[in-house]
Amino acid sequence: MKVKNQIILALDVEEKEKAFSILEETTQYLDTIKIGYPITLALGPKIITDIKDNFDVKIIADFKVADIDATNEKIVRNTLNYGADSIIVHGFTGEDSVTACKEAAENLGKEIFLLTEMSHPGADKFLKPVSLDIAQMGVELGIKNYVAPATKLDRLKKIREIVGKDAFIISPGVGFQGGEAKDTLNYANAAIIGRSIYNSESPQESLEQIIKSIS
């Protein structure tokens, strides 16, 4: 996978008009966006199709899939059938649940991202103790794409060491949560940035400044 300018826009807005306005300002610099529950629950899953029909972007569905294998398969299949190119899944649910996601995506010619550790402080209590094991499980399952935190560079570095240089890591937490794009990209392939762009008075100018800071 390749990401233009190594930046993924987390489009966590809830209005279609605002979402499209932001995309119109930023897609000359971006070719990948991440959408999650806020926009999907507000507008319905067809928003995935609407974005794909109107903008030349890859969509990562950040649904953090975390259920039993049979349910995971349904979530992944239905999400990707709306047009998402890939979907983020939790690893703590174990090998059978993750494998169901991986196989469902591959059957559609698409991919999953395995979430190893989250970027917020609360993740330290429960996810941090197992995140390296989740990364190792991903390697053993042949998973190529991972999510690891920009706010915890020591953890991001360790996860990179486990998954290897050929794996593709995307990293949330840049901007409002405190992560720095340039530092993050020492270990990750792409930085995920949301509020610093979509809450800006000029999303385009904010994105241009971020790109300049990492060039």
Handedness of CA 127, 130, 135, 137 (dihedral sign): negative
Task: Please list the residues that pair with 114 across neighbouring strands.
Answer: 89, 146
Catalytic residue, candidates 4, 16, 18, 64: 64
Intra-chain end-to-end CA distance of the chain, in Å: 20
- CA atoms within 13 Å, Cβ hemisphere of 197: 33
Stretch 26-34: mean pLDDT: 97
Which tokens hold the place of 147? 């999510």
pLDDT of residue 94: 97
What is the mean predicted confidence (pLDDT) over 161-176?
93
- Cα gap 175→140, rounded to integer Å: 33
| 138 close to 116: Cβ distance less than 8 angstroms | yes
Better pLDDT: 98 or 175:
98
Please report, for residues 8, 125, 163, the alpha-carbon distance to residue 122 in angstroms, rounded to integers and kept in the order given.
Answer: 23, 6, 24
Residue 177's pLDDT is 78
The torsion defined by the Cα of 157, 5, 17 and 205, in degrees rounded to 10, comes to 100
**Mean pLDDT value of segment 168-172:** 97
Distance CA 161, CA 165 (A): 8
32-35/86-90 β-pairing: unpaired
Q: Is 73 exposed, middle or buried (0-12, 13-18, 19+ CB in 10 A)?
A: buried
Q: Between residues 175 and 50, which one has the greater pLDDT? A: 50
Looking at residue 187, its pLDDT comes to: 97
Confidence (pLDDT) at 148:
97
CB 74 within 8 Å of CB 113: no
What are the structural domains of the chain? 4-214 (3.20.20.70)
* Percentage of the residues of the chain whose pLDDT score is greater than 90: 90
- The mean pLDDT value for 11-23 works out to 97
pLDDT for 179: 81
pTM, to two decimals: 0.96
Tokens matching residue 157: 């570095």
In sequence order, the β-bridge partners of residue 34 are 10, 60
Helix 95-107, helix 69-81: angle, nearest 10: 30
DSSP bridge partners of 8: 192
- For this structure, is 64 an active site residue? yes
Residue 56 scores a pLDDT above 90 = yes
User: Which pLDDT belongs to residue 197?
Assistant: 95
